[in-house]
Amino acid sequence: MNKEVIVNQDNQFKQMIRAAIIGLLTGLVVSTFRLIIQHFLKFVSASFAYFHHHPTGLIYWAIGSVILALILGQLAQRYPNIKGSGIPQVEGQLKCQFDEKWWPVLWRKYLGGIFAIGSGLFLGREGPSIQLGATIGQGVAETAHVNSLNRRVGIASGAAAGLAAAFNAPIASTIFILEEVYHNFSPLIWLATFISSLCSNMVSMTIFGLKPVLNVPYQYELPVGLYWHLIILGIALGFLGRLYQIVILRLDHWSGKLTWLKPSAYPVIPFLLVIPVAWYLPYTLGGGNQLIAELRLLPFSLTLFIGLFVLRFVFSMISYGSQLPGGIFLPILTLGAVLGAVYCTLMVKVGTLPARYLPNFIIYAMAGYFACISKAPFTAILLITEMVGSLAHLMPLAMVSIIAYLVVDALHGRPVYTAMFENFIGLRTDKKPLHQETLSVTIYPGSELDGCQIADYSWPADCIVSLIYRGEDKIIPNGKTVLLAGDTLLIQANISDKNKLQEILERSSHAPKM
């Protein structure tokens, strides 16, 4: 027994080493991805500043945009696994419902994302960063020839590391992968993803410094007497968040009605539309980093803020509907920030809120809008807390996020990335889908499992014993591991009926041997 525990502790140590390697490699790849996109966006802004004095240059820019759009469209249609943010694909891998080869996706997503996002389309780099990290994690795991469980741990670790490098927020990145993507909080997975996130964040901080990616300075804390605004804001965000879910999930259906335009030519539309946006509002280009940073410095105008929301909402949908590599993570936060500005401005006009709280409501609305659309409130709260660098907003963030989440839940909204994955693989909605669940079963003396090797027991289909708690020891099992009375098993399973499977396992762990 002691020898078995030592062997499994050694395996866990190797997993942590792999997690660190995955984090460092992901940090390097995603940081360069992020850096190149930043320089591309600066080039676009500088080019349009030049075109204001030399407008004939727009002709050559438009021709080049059409050519680039067609090349990227052809790439996305030939290799559909690189479409969109990539988060649904990663979620599918972790649920064992989808798989892909890591290297072809890695380099195509990297180059496609740079040109699509760097051209100024309203797409985010965070989703692609998660998929890039997941492919690196998969590559490291497969190179090490690990089992299926450790392969999934590697993918989850890389995904968390990718988001950490994109946002400089390792804690929120870990929680997002566990809460929204993997849906698993086992100690092994939690520790591995956190180590990868920290290592990746270290590389990112070395390149970009300590300043938060979406730093929104504020001077005043919202008084408790004004907390009733948070309830109204949360309700409004919930309804608008459900609207966002409905539209984003129907984009493919609506695009399919454009029978006169081939899917490979879809990107031509946003590439041409980005020209007037870059001409008049260059600070709105890309995922929205610059807009969030400058929002509090813009003229305090309700018309302006509403116009920015409409522009960001419509053009982000057109950009994402082109099926190019690019995400919705940062665009969602940007829309939330603009909605916070709309709400604050409206309340100032009504006379119920001082204008000095504009930065506060930008911060609160970012968290609330992301929380309700992704249905990941803990991630939203932690992400904004890490971005601001203060716990002073924790209570307002929690209130807005939970209220917005409950509104979307009452409107039957689902986690957007899960729904997008089902759209991606074309699951039929009339069938009960499989879900990956983690079940806990304790073995009792004299039961069928007491004294049985894992390989000798006929487990239900699609089940794997991922971890054994034996006293104070945590054992990562293999086929030769002998189960003993008192062991608590963590079992991962792809199932449609959790209660039925739990009942089967309980009978095996309780019933006396025959």
pLDDT in tens, 51-106: 999 999 999 999 999 999 999 999 998 998 898 888 888 888 887 777 888 999 99
Overall pTM > 0.75:
yes
Return the DSSP state at 181.
Answer: I
Structure confidence by residue, pLDDT tens digits, 479-504: 778 888 877 787 877 665 555 566 66
Average pLDDT over residues 252-271: 86
Average pLDDT over residues 13-40: 93
Report the pLDDT value the prediction gives residue 496, as an integer from 0 to 100: 55
Report the pLDDT value the prediction gives residue 499, as an integer from 0 to 100: 58
How far apart are the C-alpha atoms of 178 and 156, rounded to whole Å? 8
Res. 218: pLDDT tops 70: yes
Lowest mean per-residue pLDDT among 3-17, 27-41, 122-136, 406-420: 3-17
Report the pLDDT value the prediction gives residue 147, as an integer from 0 to 100: 80
Structure confidence by residue, pLDDT tens digits, 454-472: 878 877 766 778 778 776 5
Average pLDDT over residues 241-250: 94
Which comes out higher in pLDDT, residue 181 or 64?
A: 64
How far apart are the C-alpha atoms of 268 and 284, rounded to whole Å? 19
Report the pLDDT value the prediction gives residue 390, as an integer from 0 to 100: 65
Q: What percent of the chain has pLDDT over 70?
A: 87
Report the pLDDT value the prediction gives residue 1, as an integer from 0 to 100: 46
Res. 320: pLDDT tops 60: yes
Report the pLDDT value the prediction gives residue 427, as an integer from 0 to 100: 46
Question: Contact 284/327 with Cβ under 8 angstroms?
Answer: no
Report the pLDDT value the prediction gives residue 472, as an integer from 0 to 100: 58
Mean pLDDT of the chain: 85
Structure confidence by residue, pLDDT tens digits, 279-316: 999 999 998 888 998 898 899 999 999 999 999 999 99
Which SS3 state, helix, strand or coil, does residue 67 take? helix
Structure confidence by residue, pLDDT tens digits, 110-156: 999 999 999 999 999 888 999 999 999 999 999 998 887 788 889 99
Q: In terms of DSSP H, where are the helices of 119-147?
A: 126-143
Res. 431: pLDDT tops 50: no
Report the pLDDT value the prediction gives residue 514, as an integer from 0 to 100: 46
| pLDDT tier for residue 407 given thresholds of 50, 70 and 90 | very high
Q: Give the dihedral sign, CA 82/84/86/88.
A: negative
Report the pLDDT value the prediction gives residue 433, as an integer from 0 to 100: 46
CA triplet 159, 163, 169: central angle to 5 degrees? 130
Q: Name the token pair of 66.
A: 């059409």
How far apart are the C-alpha atoms of 234 and 255, rounded to whole Å? 31
Strand partners, 439: 491
Q: Name the token pair of 434.
A: 């499989």
Radius of gyration (C-alpha) of the chain in whole angstroms: 24
